[in-house]
C-alpha cells in the first residue's frame, strides 16, 4: 500500500462522502447540521462584506485622489464600520468552525474506537497482516482528517461564493481582466498537479514512518528495565537509527518536491499582485478610469483568483489530507474485514456449570501440524484440572481456544459466558489505572466495599500494596511499583473478587512458588470455582481431580488420580 499511487479525484471524494454521511446519521447529526447552517450563513455575510469592502476601498482611494475631504471622512467611517463588522463575523465563523471540527472528531473517533475494540477486532487486526499503527490512525489521523476536511470544504464553498460575487465585480471593471484570471488559474492548477503529484505517496509513507519511529521509542520506555538488564541498547540504537534513516530520506524527498512546487506557487502568487495593474493602470493613465478602480481591481482579481486557485495555494495540504484519508479508509476497511472474517470453525456455546470440548482439533498457527486432535472431555464446576505436555504450543492453543482467540481449529467448546470465566496468562497484565480499577470489573468500582477488597488482599499477603499504591484510588505504573510475582498475585486476587464459575491459569509456576499455588487452589475450591492449570514448573506436584496430558502428536489422555512428583513428566497413573 505504501507504493500505491493514490488518486486525488473519485477515491478521496467517495471516502469523504462516506464519512460525511456517517456524521449526519449519528446522534450528533442534528447538532452538526445546525453548525453547518450557521457557517453557511456567516459565509454569505463574509462574502457580502468583502464585496462591500471593495467598493468602499475604491471610493476611499478616489476621494484621496480628488482631495475631497468630506467624501474621504465619510468613506473612512464606512471603512472602519466594515472592518469592525468583518472582525466580529470572522471570529464567530472561526469559533463555529472549531466547534463543528471537534464535534466531528469526537463522533468519528468514538465510532472507530468502538469498532476497534468490539469482538476483539484489535486482536485479529494486530495478529493478521492488517494495517500499520492503527493507534496512530485513530488518534492523529482522525484529528488531521476532521480539521483539514472541514477547512477544505469551507474553502471550496467560500471560494464558490467568492467567485460568483467577484466575477461580477471584475467583469464590470474589465472583461479582459476576468478572462486573464480564469486562464491563469486553470494553467496554474494544471501545472501544480503535475509538479506536486508525488507528494501524495510521500506524505502517506511519512505518516507511517513517523509512527514506526515513535512506536519503537515507546517500546524502549515501556521496557526500559528489561533492555537495561539485557544490555540491548546497541540493538535499539541500530533499530532506531534505521527507522530514522528511512524517515529522513523520505522527508528529504518531500522537501525536494516542496521546493520545486514552491518555485512555481510563490511566483504564481507574486504575479497576482501586478497583473491587474498591468491591465488597468494604462486605462487610468489614459483617463478612462479613476485611481480607486486600480485598487478595487487588484483586490477583486486577487480574491477571485484565490477562489479559482485553491489547488495551487493548498496543494501541499491537499496531498497530506489525501494520504490521511486513504489511511483512515484502509483502517475502516480492515476493521470491517476483520469483523466479517470467521477466525476459525470452532463453535463456542455458553453453559454456566461446565466446560466441555466436543471433537475439538487445534492446528498450529501456520497450519502445518496438529497440536490437539479430536479432544472430548468435560470439566465440572468446582473441580481441579491440570494440563500437561512436553511442549508449550498445544497447551497455549488449548488455553487460547477456550478463551475464543485461537484462529486455527474446529469442533465445539461449551463454557460459561465471559463474565463467568477468567483467563490469567503466564505474563500478568495489569491495565493502567487505580488499584480499585485493576481489581474490579468495570461498573463494580462503586459497589464493592473496601473491606471486602482488603480481606482478599490480606489472604494473599498483598495488604501492603494498598499503602504502596497510596490507597485504592491513585493512578500507578504497576510495572514499576510491583514485581512480576506481585503482579501475578494481584491478578489472582481479581478472581476472588469477581467470583467466576471457572478460571484458567497459564503456567502460574513461572511467577509463583508451589506453596502459593497450592494455597490459591484450596481457596478456589472453597468457593466452588473450577480451575484449570497449564503446567510448567511446580504445578504438577499438587493435588488435582484430573490431569489432561497432550502428546507431541496431538493425541491426549485424561487421568483421574492424584499426580505425584514427576519433574516435568507424568508418572504412570491408573485411569
Per-residue model confidence as pLDDT tens digits over 224-278? 766 776 677 777 888 888 888 888 898 888 888 888 877 877 777 777 777 776 6
Looking only at the bridges linking them, the beta strands covering 530-534 and 384-388 are parallel
- Kindly state the cell numbers that stand for 61: 482611494
- Kindly state the cell numbers that stand for 482: 510491583
Looking only at the bridges linking them, the beta strands covering 409-415 and 345-350 are parallel
Cα separation values, 141 from 146, 247, 288, 431, Å: 8, 18, 55, 25
- Kindly state the cell numbers that stand for 459: 489472604
> In degrees, to the nearest 5, what angle opens at C-alpha 159 toward C-alphas 301 and 77?
60
Instruction: Give pLDDT, residue 171.
Output: 75
Contact 65, 292 (CB under 8 A): yes
Angle between helices 198-222 and 310-340 (to 10 degrees): 50
Contact 275, 183 (CB under 8 A): no
Instruction: Give pLDDT, residue 548.
Output: 92
Looking only at the bridges linking them, the beta strands covering 370-380 and 530-534 are unpaired
Residues of the chain under the 70 pLDDT cut:
1-18, 119-120, 122-133, 136, 159, 166, 168, 225-226, 229-230, 277-278, 280-281, 283-285, 287-296, 299, 301, 304-321, 323, 338-344, 537-540, 561-575
Candidates 50, 59, 97; CA nearest to 77 is 59
- Kindly state the cell numbers that stand for 411: 469442533
Instruction: Give pLDDT, residue 355.
Output: 92
Instruction: Give pLDDT, residue 12.
Output: 57
- Kindly state the cell numbers that stand for 469: 499504591
Per-residue model confidence as pLDDT tens digits over 445-477? 778 888 888 998 998 888 888 888 888 888 887
- The two counts, helices (H) then strands (E), for the chain are 19, 10
Instruction: Give pLDDT, residue 538.
Output: 59
Name all domains of the chain by residue range, CATH numbers in brackets: 11-340 (1.20.1560.10), 345-430+482-559 (3.40.50.300)
- The CB-side HSE value for 457 (13 A sphere, CA atoms) comes to 21
Is the sign of the CA dihedral 57, 58, 62, 68 positive or negative?
A: negative
Per-residue model confidence as pLDDT tens digits over 298-335? 767 677 666 666 666 666 666 666 767 777 777 777 77
Looking only at the bridges linking them, the beta strands covering 370-380 and 556-559 are unpaired
Is the pTM above the cut of 0.85?
no
22-57 b/e (C-beta count within 10 Å ≥ 16 → b)? ebeebebeeebeebbebbeebbebbbebbbebbebb
Amino acid at each position: 500500500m505504501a507504493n500505491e499511487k493514490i488518486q486525488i479525484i473519485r477515491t478521496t471524494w467517495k471516502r469523504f462522502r462516506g464519512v460525511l454521511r456517517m456524521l449526519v446519521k449519528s446522534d450528533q447529526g442534528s447538532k452538526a447540521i445546525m453548525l453547518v447552517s450557521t457557517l453557511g450563513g456567516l459565509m454569505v455575510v463574509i462574502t457580502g462584506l468583502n464585496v462591500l469592502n471593495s467598493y468602499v476601498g475604491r471610493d476611499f482611494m478616489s476621494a484621496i485622489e480628488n482631495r475631497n475631504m468630506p467624501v474621504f471622512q465619510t468613506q473612512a467611517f464606512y471603512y472602519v464600520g466594515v472592518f469592525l463588522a468583518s472582525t466580529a463575523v470572522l471570529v464567530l465563523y472561526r469559533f463555529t468552525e472549531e466547534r463543528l471540527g471537534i464535534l466531528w472528531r469526537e463522533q468519528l473517533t468514538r465510532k472507530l474506537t468502538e469498532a476497534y475494540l468490539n469482538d476483539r477486532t484489535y486482536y485479529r487486526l494486530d495478529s493478521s497482516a492488517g494495517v500499520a499503527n492503527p493507534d496512530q490512525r485513530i488518534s492523529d489521523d482522525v484529528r488531521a482528517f476532521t480539521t483539514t476536511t472541514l477547512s477544505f470544504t469551507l474553502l471550496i464553498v467560500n471560494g464558490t461564493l467568492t467567485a460568483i460575487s467577484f466575477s461580477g465585480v471584475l467583469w464590470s471593471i474589465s472583461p479582459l481582466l476576468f478572462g486573464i484570471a480564469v486562464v491563469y488559474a486553470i494553467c496554474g492548477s494544471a501545472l501544480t498537479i503535475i509538479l506536486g503529484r508525488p507528494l501524495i505517496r510521500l506524505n502517506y509513507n511519512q505518516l507511517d514512518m513517523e509512527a514506526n519511529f515513535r512506536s519503537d521509542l515507546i517500546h524502549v520506555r515501556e521496557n526500559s528495565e528489561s533492555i537495561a538488564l539485557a544490555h540491548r541498547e546497541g540493538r535499539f540504537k541500530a533499530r532506531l537509527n534505521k527507522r530514522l534513516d528511512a524517515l529522513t530520506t523520505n522527508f528529504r524527498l518531500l522537501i525536494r518536491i516542496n521546493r520545486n512546487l514552491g518555485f512555481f506557487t510563490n511566483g504564481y502568487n507574486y504575479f497576482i499582485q501586478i497583473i491587474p495593474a498591468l491591465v488597468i493602470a494604462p486605462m487610468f493613465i489614459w483617463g478612462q478610469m479613476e485611481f480607486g478602480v486600480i485598487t478595487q481591481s487588484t483586490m477583486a482579481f486577487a480574491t477571485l483568483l484565490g477562489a479559482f486557485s485553491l489547488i495551487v495555494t493548498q496543494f501541499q495540504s491537499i496531498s497530506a489530507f489525501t494520504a490521511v484519508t486513504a489511511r483512515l479508509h484502509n483502517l475502516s476497511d480492515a476493521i470491517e474485514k476483520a469483523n466479517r472474517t470467521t477466525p476459525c470453525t470452532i463453535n463456542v456455546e455458553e453453559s454456566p456449570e461446565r466446560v466441555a470440548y466436543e471433537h475439538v482439533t487445534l492446528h498450529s498457527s501456520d497450519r502445518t501440524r496438529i497440536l490437539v486432535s479430536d479432544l472430548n472431555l468435560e470439566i465440572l464446576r468446582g473441580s481441579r484440572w491440570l494440563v500437561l505436555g512436553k511442549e508449550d504450543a498445544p497447551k497455549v492453543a488449548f488455553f487460547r481456544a477456550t478463551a475464543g482467540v485461537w484462529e486455527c481449529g474446529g469442533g465445539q467448546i461449551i463454557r460459561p459466558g465471559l463474565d463467568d470465566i477468567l483467563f490469567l496468562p503466564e505474563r500478568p497484565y495489569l491495565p493502567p489505572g487505580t488499584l480499585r480499577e485493576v481489581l474490579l470489573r468495570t461498573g463494580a468500582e462503586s459497589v464493592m466495599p473496601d473491606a471486602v477488597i482488603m480481606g482478599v488482599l490480606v489472604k494473599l499477603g498483598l495488604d501492603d500494596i494498598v499503602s504502596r499504591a497510596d490507597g485504592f484510588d491513585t493512578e500507578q505504573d504497576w510495572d514499576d511499583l510491583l514485581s512480576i510475582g506481585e503482579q501475578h498475585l494481584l491478578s489472582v486476587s481479581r478472581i476472588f473478587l469477581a467470583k467466576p464459575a471457572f478460571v484458567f491459569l497459564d503456567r502460574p509456576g513461572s511467577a509463583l512458588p508451589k506453596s502459593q499455588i497450592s494455597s490459591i487452589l484450596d481457596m478456589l475450591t472453597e468457593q466452588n470455582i473450577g480451575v484449570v492449570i497449564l503446567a510448567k514448573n511446580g504445578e504438577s506436584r499438587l493435588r488435582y481431580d484430573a490431569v489432561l496430558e497432550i502428546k507431541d502428536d496431538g493425541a491426549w489422555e485424561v487421568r483421574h488420580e492424584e499426580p505425584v512428583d514427576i519433574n516435568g513428566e507424568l508418572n504412570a497413573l491408573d485411569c
